[in-house]
Amino acid sequence: MEKSKQLLGNDHPDTLTSMANLAGTYWNQGKWKEAEVLQVVVMEKSKQLLGNDHPDTLTSMANLAATYRNQGQWKAVEALEVVVMDKSKQQHSPEHD
């Protein structure tokens, strides 16, 4: 991840992918706080670079919600999952096509 940042910059999609992958590794190890820190960055950068409705942004939000769930942060889980659900419904509605 650090090499990606140095070579490509903090905002490059490959850097975000590296960050998300490392967050996933932390998540699988039960290192919730470490995963959370990276997932928040990935989510915020995804919003900036891709937009709030982009599928990758929604995935990053769902991943963060799962981390919050494992930490018992129920209000944060609900807030993120409601947004993900609503935006996903909008994208898959007949009016969206």
| Domain presence at residue 44 | yes
Q: Which amino acid is at 43?
A: M
pLDDT of residue 47: 96
| Domain presence at residue 19 | no
Domain total in the chain? 1
**Helices within 1-97 (DSSP H only):** 2-8, 13-28, 32-50, 55-70, 74-91
pLDDT at 18 over 70: yes
| pLDDT tens column, 28-78 | 999 999 999 999 999 999 999 999 999 999 999 999 999 999 999 999 999
| Domain presence at residue 3 | no
Under DSSP, the state recorded for 11 is: T
Under DSSP, the state recorded for 9 is: -
Per the CB < 8 A criterion, the answer to whether 33 and 10 are in contact is no
pLDDT at 96 over 60: no
Q: What range does the domain containing 58 cover?
A: 32-85
| Domain presence at residue 74 | yes
| Domain presence at residue 17 | no
pTM confidence score: 0.87
| Domain presence at residue 16 | no
